[in-house]
Amino acid sequence: MPYRKNFKRSYPLILLILIVLFLGAVNSAEDDIYEKINRNMDLFGQVYKEIALNYVDEIDADKFITAGIEGMLSTLDPYTNFIDEKSRDQIDLITSGKYGGVGITVSVKDSVIVITEIMNGYEAEKKGLRVGDKIIEIDGVELKNQKSENMRGLVRGPVGSQVTVVVDRDGEIITFNLVRQEIILKNVSYYGYLEPEIEGIGYIKLDRFTSISESEFENALKSMKAKREIKGLIIDLRDNGGGLLDAAIGILNKLVPKNSLLLITKGKRADSEKKYFSKEDPMLSQDVPIAVLINGKTASASEIVSGAIQDLDRGVIVGTKSFGKGLVQQIKDLDSKSQIKITGSRYYTPSGRWIQEKNYFKENKYGVFVDKTRYDQTDFRTLDGRIVKAYGGIEPDVEVKTVPETEIYSGLLSKDMFFKFANSYIERNPDIKNVSPGDEIFAEFRIFLAANNFSYDSQIEKKLKEIGQLASNKSYSQEIMNSLNKIENIVESDETNEIETAKQEITLAIVNEINKRIINEKEQIEAVFPFDIQLQKAVSILENKSEYNQLLGK
């Protein structure tokens, strides 16, 4: 009893001592990190100064410091990056979906920058630029052997400013004087009801998450609801690399019950944890089934949406495993010309999953991370008790694998044969209104390939040539060389049939390339629906209530 009385009397003093010791430890830790920062900054500055002034060759001081910064950041995760003045327009594009330009998409073909897409309603279309035009000069700068990303910096600029573009159109040199406009990229590239419309299955294709994604998604739902009752909804997030976290949260608010946990983010400090909840009533009844399409290019904000819908058992996920990006970045100004995009937190789906695929944390060869076991995880459960995996992207509830890209298709693509054939086809059929996959167009394409002497070396041919070269260097017998030649002839003979094996893949690519020139974006997307096996599987699931409920464990 005396001991207890004395302890009670001493308790406030002990507590005060503990608080002082704790604060002292915290201050000591903070003092220690700032001391290290100051010491290492001095060291970094000395190395930079010594090299810039005394290295044997002339050094570009600006590029040298940028290389140092990027080298330092390369020891961290893949998404913490230095952003210089030239790259800031890309950040503006990611956050706002807007930029100053003329409305064209380009790529490099045969070392020449070629227009591959003309956006409807913008300056390039109004002034008469065409798909297939070769850009040879912009504002007096010749583009020979330039990369397409370098051209982007030339053609983009302040809204209202002028840019002069010189193109080669089938040997004719044409100059276009264009005025840059505000180009607004659509986030929802397609919405509507899938055929047959009487089933009431809606489809929304969401390409990115910017500041206007939520409003576009909401308007798409409103437009479909105004037309008829939505009896099922497919959200296509394939190839959607993400964007703004707030846009993902906003879209989830339209789909899940009010007050649902949507996301958890956690930073370095214990008090950094933040939970996001839905704050509004959803736009769809919870009886309306939802399917979300994902693939290996579904990342970031797209995974926040698909992960929450899966964890809350609000819908089924169809396709292939997503990319696996479980990190959140912030953009901070360093000075008037540069910024840093820094990973400030991890995000966790409602069940608590961290879905990061690239394990930079454990694989880092420089050892800059102190605790490498802190984020080991196990299985988690959805709201209704289904087991979901925590690591390496979002696993679909229904896996639907697409046919891998064939080697012959890659060879045709690398030599721009689809693009060249489409140009030739349109030139020969200037009044064509539509084109469909079929034997006739495939046969024309084969004739075109023969006329243009198309050939490519497959992987096995390349390996055989390497082996042949090694055998020749070793002076192997003629018998061995003859055997290698015989194998190579057999391979070449088999490869003549390879194009027939990949007929469907090649025919679809031909039609898609031609359609870019004769029909609008909406019609191009619709033309692919019948051949989209992942989409068709999602439709069949939504039409079968029993299968849908079984997948959700109901």
The set of catalytic residues is: 300, 311, 325
Cβ burial of 108 (10 Å; 0-12, 13-18, 19+) is: middle
3-state secondary structure 101-151: ECCEEEEEECCEEEEEEECCCCHHHHHCCCCCCEEEEECCEECCCCCHHHH
Closest by CA to 259, choosing from 300, 201, 194, 312, is 312
Residues 6+ apart with CB under 8 A from 397: 310, 316, 317, 318, 551, 552
3 state SS of 74: coil
DSSP state of 320: S
What are the distances in angstroms from CA 373 to CA 328, 376, 377? 20, 6, 10
Peptide bond into 289 cis (omega under 30): no
Closest by CA to 217, choosing from 183, 253, 193, 245, is 253
Q: Are 234 and 201 in contact (CB under 8 A)?
A: yes
Query: Residues 138, 144, 147, CA angle at the centre, nearest 5°?
Result: 85
DSSP state of 243: B
240 CA to centre of own chain: 5
**Residues pairing with 30 in the sheet:** none
189 CA to centre of own chain: 15
188 CA to centre of own chain: 15
